[in-house]
Structure 1
């Protein structure tokens, strides 16, 4: 079974093709083909990159329309040096990452008119993502015809959280309006939790796992018995941990104060989502690598940004452990989580009282690794998140 996976964003698209003819393996294989579109650098032009059959291409196309860009990208599957298929009819299914499924969708689902209408209706909850996700679905319908398409929702893994964990302590009218904690990064959290269980050789149903997705966007999840019972992101991806350019949780009174100083809703949106976090505090960058380089050169703002990131990470890790009622495994994933031994050390240091001890000699690795000391009671794993593979597996399971 050949499954095309598409992650359609507002200004970039990423896609890959998996061959699952042997079934869904536990470890992610290399895709047959991978491609990306990027509209961010040149006006009314798109940068297309693709790799397949041992070859790669990079092109700049005079294309502003997203559907036309997707058609050009998909064409590299069957034409040119990256050709891996004789015909597009060889594609058996398409899996889409869809950011918001609301309360309706707690599992992956085959896409039909009703599902598309729901994705459209949920745009106010994910205005930067759901429109692009829907556009990608409709574009591939036009390109591939009646090939089955599957929506894999980023919120679905958290949809079974207890009501007490999902509810905000505002007026009950919020509950009735659907204002609740939905959580995000669910595809990643679900994948790394299952991968962690496989690595430690235990049934996920018996484990209490803390998953730490730390990238430009950051979130934690408390996974108990294979189910997310708590997470740090909430009604929007702005809640929770300090991130690359997002503030994470702040006192809502700050926003009331700023509004009385004349800030508009759009200005607050820009401030909290684009000008805060590591970027805002350090004055340097939203990239942890740049922040740590500046910190090591004596930059006081960069030091404050790093220290604040670690403090808030530790505090929320403690909250997730309390929700779990114990801890068997902690997992680090995503850009920072997979590549920063300094963050691993700093994040885990306060939890030695739980029996969590890391190896003294830590380094990045291409493979998933156990970074806990041999005598550690809690295992600590670094796992490369494989969201595209998880989407392909969800398609296979559903279809």
Structure 2
């Protein structure tokens, strides 16, 4: 297979990320974002050869379809169409049905739609992206890569909910976990950094962004993760609450809150936003904290404390630990966050290398602890590369 370029699509409810990825190198030849879908100000922006461009999405109809039509025209104009061998889609929830990347046909698409009740904000949007791409590229094979797939190796003791097992049998209620492509990618890169086979390596991967999760990885496989039945569980996030006493939900319902109001509160008004009363953006939290904002300071403290607690608790999932990995927008760039988490972990012997921690930002990987102390590293994630690689690998199996 001479060409190895894959169009990767990550379709959200009101946005769509896309990139043309070289599956051999991970380089993005073209990348872009469609956003504000459903609103008059909907746009598509892209970056090609260092140049950024943006234009409004116009015309009648579904903005996902309109955006992909524009992306198709752009790819054709840039002479990339003939280089494409596949389209890879990031799909958030595969339930227990999908444990690996799969080629998409109508039956797979219908099953992705059927799983929408497990991810009502994500799977319907993913299905829209698939439909539009199948229409735009009828001759290209399409593949689905699932956020939940990497975590299907978790043992029952890790994924089982502590409620009636009947609810698991009837409704599939269990821990699924998310950010699987990110945890998969950085753990493989970490194994390369320490010059050890991934099958013999164990890490705690800490993906910190607007969504955040921790994953215990033993011998290259996920054995526990902080997100649960939905992406709402686990760490405090930008607008999501993370773990909380479920009795709070009953309490609010008895106070007259509607189900929708409670859902919105936990998903969009909590986390950094809720605790700080200021912003959901970590950069804004740190800036306001440095200026003495009480709410931002508390949000920073709650977040870093909970991250450190999760890391410490996941050590019991492993027989050995080769390193802790920070990744994601916050994990890769927020120096004060990493410093504070490491300070909490000093009881385990972790000691920050201040200079190395300063350098390991803005796309630069590196070990950020002092020599002779346990390893903590920063590795920029590349989920699009994983999607492109796995799509091409599966395509090759069909061609062989």
TM-score clears 0.5 = yes
* 1:99-110 pair list within 5 angstroms: 99-110=92-103
> Which stretch of structure 1 is more off in the superposition, 154-163 or 344-353?
344-353
For 1:345 and 1:113, the matched residues in 2 are separated by 48
The Cα of 1:33 is off from its aligned counterpart by 1.3
What does residue 134 of structure 1 align with? Answer: 127
Alignment check: 8 A CA contact 1:46 1:69 kept: no
Q: How does 1:1-399 map to 2 (within 5 A)?
A: 1-20=4-23, 24-25=24-25, 28=26, 30-39=27-36, 43-53=39-49, 55-63=51-59, 65=62, 66-79=64-77, 83-85=78-80, 88-176=81-169, 177-361=171-355, 362-363=357-358, 364-376=361-373, 378-399=374-395
> SS where residue 28 of structure 2 aligns?
coil
For 2:52 and 2:246, locate their aligned partners in 1 and report how far apart those are by CA, in whole Å. 48
- Quote the offset at 1:365 in angstroms: 4.3
Give the SS at the match of 1:145: coil
8 A Cα contact 1:244 1:279, kept in partner: yes
Offset from partner CA, 1:69-100 (integer Å, 9 cap, x none):
21112211122xxx142xx3442101000000
Task: Provide TM-score, normalisation by structure 2.
Answer: 0.93
Using the alignment, how far apart are the partners of 2:127 and 2:197 within structure 1?
36
CA contact 1:332–1:382 (8 Å) conserved in 2: yes
Q: Take 2:45 and 2:354, find their aligned partners in 1: how far apart are those partners?
A: 40
Taking structure 1 as the reference length, the TM-score comes to 0.93
- Give the SS at the match of 2:354: coil
**Local SS of the residue matching 2:76:** coil
Aligned residues: 386
- How many Å separate the matches in 2 of 1:187 and 1:396? 15
Deviation, structure 1 residue 45: 4.4
Q: Distance in 2 between matches of 1:19 and 1:288?
A: 31
- Partner of 2:75, secondary structure, is coil
Contact 2:8 2:20 in 1 (8 A): yes
Q: CA deviation at 1:294?
A: 1.4
State how far apart, in whole Å, the 2-side matches of 1:124 and 1:115 are.
16
| Structure 2 CA distance for partners of 1:350 and 1:57, relative to 1, 3 Å | closer
Q: Unmatched 5+ residue regions in structure 1?
A: none
1:245–1:277 Cα contact (<8 Å) kept? yes
